[in-house]
Amino acid sequence: MTAIDSYSHGVSGEREFGFAQAIKAGETIYVSGQLSHDEEGAFTHPDDLDAQLKQVYANFEKVLAHYGVTRNQVVSQTEYVVNLPEHAAALSVANLAFFGDHRPTSTGVGVASLFFPGQLVEVSFVIDTRLPA
């Protein structure tokens, strides 16, 4: 039997919607879509993609720290983006800044809208803990 370890940021939306930010099953960590929210879970930076991406990755860093893994162990990310063609260049800049020379797989999905008004991006991740940090 595989042990399951879940992680939450401890913000209100997790309780109301019944989800964890991440679950580790065996050697794989599945990370829910990270978005731009503060310590209390309030959505931040409406309509500002660059600021939202900064916060997305800052929130994701908390998940990495909880499990003691690094961004070099990310094997896949899926980016859900409002008006993807308009924001593709900014996504590239953010990805290169966050991952450096590491190249996980990446899928960009254009969407009509996300949960919060002004939310432009949400990113989910898969991590393989067997990869070198």
* pLDDT tens digits, 51-68: 999 999 999 999 999 999
The amino acid sitting at 86 is E
CATH superfamily of 4-128: RutC-like (3.30.1330.40)
3-state helix, strand, coil in the chain (%, to 5): 35, 30, 35
* pLDDT tens digits, 94-105: 999 999 999 999
pLDDT of residue 49: 97
* pLDDT tens digits, 31-90: 999 999 998 889 999 999 999 999 999 999 999 999 999 999 999 999 999 999 999 999
* Contact partners, residue 9, CB within 8 Å, separation at least 6: 21, 37, 41, 59, 62
CA gap 73, 11 in Å, rounded: 26
Q: What is the pTM of this model?
A: 0.92
* pLDDT tens digits, 114-123: 999 999 999 9
The mean predicted confidence, pLDDT, of the chain is 93
Q: What is the mean pLDDT of residues 114-133?
A: 97
